């Protein structure tokens, strides 16, 4: 046991134990020194515990907060210092669409947050996708000013839909995110910007951002929007064009724990003053604005063993004639989709395992991304499709999930005169957050 003499002397003086030598017997002095050493040991352990607690949060209530998933929201429960979390998932897929079997460790994510003081914090998400591709998913500063109005600045997740912000694997059914929230809401959508967030009341939560806009024209002067979805418009905050800005926001009413009723929107031009060219030629199609309005309404009920979700989303796009001419195929000016899903935790009815849950679930999706194309271009019936899914969502621990599902795609596409085009995918995978 190593004790600094200066510290011991100061402690003796501070505790009143340093009495005149002539008033103490050797036994009294030794006893008092032992008592003091015990107190110093206790104090040292407490200070070390506080130091560790300030660096890495070891105890944590895994709940989403302020537009961030359960593990990513750790930093909001740290008084000061560093917070570390993350998530990952991988799956095996057998698909009749391309006839191939595939396995992919899709994502490994690390969250690093740092709380500078009681009103400034940094939160970041670093993503390794498909084992080898590395991205910054978000990196922002929060300035915590008031319960009703706080400032967020940096690369931020757009506050759209149910899974663009809250997308850790235990928080949604299926190995693949819902098709509506991939093709109309282009998850994961994140761009650079600044905005406000807060709670207007105890049950009413909002976020409102200005971000660099999406980009509808690529470096070769062609449309990044195709017949199937708008995912190609994402700039992901990397050397992003910012001639055009977008406004995006959401409002959620949470009257009860586990109940959400809300909606979100995105609006802005996506042309960035770039020139668009006709497919395969040097003929200029001008510099279209390519304005888009995207909006959605959502609901969630997660109580009494039930886990229910639903969403309607629509994107309305201008200048689709020019976009279609650049691709040589029709781009719809309206893309619409909705889905409804239901799951029920049957674990309490089959075993007394309070930490575990088992949700059989179903999802029905109706999606049409090619219904209103410019004249001269045919609609693609393969983009008007119904997707029916059923699966199991088993959580042996609240932070660990095993998933299995079947997805059945049904469209009006006619392949080789066979009429309706029906395809099936089978998926099984694992996921976790920490």
Residue 139: its H or E element: strand 133-146
* pLDDT, tens digit, 9 for 90 and up, residues 147-160: 999 999 999 999 99
Q: Where would I find the beta strands (DSSP E) of 24-119?
A: 81-95, 101-115
- Mean per-residue pLDDT over the chain, rounded: 90
Q: Where would I find the beta strands (DSSP E) of 319-420?
A: 334-344, 357-368, 384-397, 400-411
> Could you tell me the pTM of the whole model?
0.85
- pLDDT > 90? residue 418: no
Residue 374 CB-density burial (10 A; 0-12 exposed, 13-18 middle, 19+ buried): middle
| Average pLDDT of span 357-368 | 98
Sign of CA dihedral 271, 274, 277, 283: positive
- Domains in the chain and their CATH numbers? 5-48 (no CATH), 83-433 (2.40.160.10)
Question: Is 395 in contact with 384 (CB distance < 8 Å)?
Answer: no
The C-alpha atoms of residue 288 and residue 327 are separated, in whole angstroms, by 15
Calculated CA dihedral for residues 147, 151, 156, 157, nearest 10 degrees = 30
Q: What confidence tier does 16 reach under pLDDT thresholds 50, 70, 90?
A: very low
The C-alpha atoms of residue 207 and residue 250 are separated, in whole angstroms, by 5
Question: Is 241 in contact with 279 (CB distance < 8 Å)?
Answer: no
pLDDT at 97: 81
**What value, to the nearest 5°, has the Cα angle with vertex 284 and ends 279 and 286?**
115
The C-alpha atoms of residue 180 and residue 178 are separated, in whole angstroms, by 6
The C-alpha atoms of residue 36 and residue 3 are separated, in whole angstroms, by 11
Strand partners, 252: 205, 262
Q: What confidence tier does 404 reach under pLDDT thresholds 50, 70, 90?
A: very high
The C-alpha atoms of residue 30 and residue 5 are separated, in whole angstroms, by 15
Q: Are strands 357-368 and 334-344 parallel, antiparallel or unpaired?
A: antiparallel
Identify the CA nearest to 338 among candidates 368, 308, 381.
368
| Average pLDDT of span 85-96 | 96
Of 47 and 249, more confident? 249
């Amino acid at each position: 046991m190593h004790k600094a003499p200066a510290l011991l002397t100061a402690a003796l003086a501070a505790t009143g134990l340093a009495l005149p030598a002539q008033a103490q017997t050797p036994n009294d002095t030794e006893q008092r020194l032992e008592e003091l050493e015990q107190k110093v040991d206790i104090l040292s352990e407490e200070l070390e515990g506080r130091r560790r607690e300030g660096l890495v949060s070891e105890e944590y209530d895994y709940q989403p907060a302020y537009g961030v998933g359960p593990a990513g929201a750790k930093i909001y429960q740290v008084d000061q210092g560093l917070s570390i979390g993350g998530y990952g998932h991988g799956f095996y897929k057998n698909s009749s669409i391309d006839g191939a079997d595939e396995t992919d460790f899709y994502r490994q994510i690390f969250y690093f947050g740092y709380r500078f003081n009681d009103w400034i914090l940094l939160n970041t998400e670093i993503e390794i996708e498909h084992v080898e591709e590395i991205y910054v998913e978000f990196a922002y500063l929060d300035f915590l000013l008031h319960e009703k109005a706080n400032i967020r600045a940096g690369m931020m997740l757009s506050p759209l839909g149910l899974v663009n912000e809250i997308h850790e694997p235990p928080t949604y059914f299926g190995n693949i995110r819902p098709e509506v929230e991939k093709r109309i809401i282009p998850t994961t959508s994140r761009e650079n910007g600044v905005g406000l967030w807060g709670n207007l009341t105890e049950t009413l939560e909002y976020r409102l951002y200005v971000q660099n806009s999406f980009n509808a024209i690529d470096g070769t002067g062609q449309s990044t929007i195709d017949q199937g979805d708008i995912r190609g418009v994402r700039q992901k905050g990397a050397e992003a064009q910012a001639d055009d800005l977008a406004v995006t926001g959401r409002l959620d009413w949470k009257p009860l724990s586990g109940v959400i009723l809300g909606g979100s929107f995105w609006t802005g031009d996506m042309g960035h003053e770039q020139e668009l060219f006709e497919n395969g030629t040097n003929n200029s199609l001008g510099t279209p604005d390519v304005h888009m309005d995207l909006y959605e309404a959502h609901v969630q009920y997660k109580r009494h063993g039930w886990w229910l979700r639903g969403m309607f989303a629509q994107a309305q796009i201008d200048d689709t004639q020019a976009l279609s001419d650049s691709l040589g195929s029709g781009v719809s000016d309206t893309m619409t989709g909705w889905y409804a899903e239901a799951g029920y935790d049957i674990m309490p009815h089959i075993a007394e395992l309070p930490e575990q849950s088992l949700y059989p679930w179903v999802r029905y999706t109706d999606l049409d991304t090619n219904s209103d194309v410019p004249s001269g271009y045919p609609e693609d019936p393969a983009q008007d499709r119904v997707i029916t899914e059923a699966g199991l969502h088993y959580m042996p621990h609240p932070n660990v999930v095993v998933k299995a599902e079947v997805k059945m795609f049904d469209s009006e596409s006619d392949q080789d005169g066979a009429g309706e085009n029906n395809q099936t995918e089978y998926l099984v995978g694992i996921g976790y957050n920490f």
